[in-house]
Amino acid sequence: MKTDTIVRLEFAALAVLAAYFFIHHDFAWYWLIPMFFAYDLGMIGYAINNQIGSITYNVAHSMLVSLACIALYAAWKPQSWLLFIAFTQLFHIGIDRFLGYGLKYSTGFQHTHLGIIGPRKR
């Protein structure tokens, strides 16, 4: 099996587990749909320039944000909204990376850590 196939399957598993834990913590499953699209609002930074766009996109798509939310949930008096953010973001990241969309470089939206995406790939 090719390495990129294994990585994609790992991220598909991440999305499935995030959805499972989201529902297991009594969040309504249908919130996964609008929240899936909410994290792509990080693309708005590209309206300013590639540098700002890559920063805003990468913050919205970084697993460090999810992990920080989980750590804060564990350390503080439990706040369910932290798990809501963590699980919806991990669900989004898992699907994005499964589809081949990675974190962005400041050289342009199509340049990701997983390779070039879109028409420039050809």
CA distance 79 to 85: 11
Residue with tokens 């994609």: 8
Please give the model's pTM, rounded to 2 decimal places: 0.92
Question: In this structure, are strands 108-112 and 115-116 parallel, antiparallel, or unpaired?
Answer: antiparallel
Q: Which helix (H) or strand (E) holds 108?
A: strand 108-112
pLDDT digit string (tens) for 3-30? 889 999 999 999 999 999 999 999 999 9
DSSP 103: P
Give the pLDDT of residue 121.
Answer: 57
Could you give the angle at which helices 80-98 and 63-75 cross, rounded to 10 degrees? 160
Long-range contacts made by residues 64-68, C-beta under 8 angstroms, separation at least 24?
65/89, 66/90, 66/93
CA distance 111 to 109: 6
pLDDT digit string (tens) for 41-84? 999 999 999 999 999 999 999 999 999 999 999 998 889 999 99
Instruction: Give the residue extent of every domain in the chain.
Output: 3-121
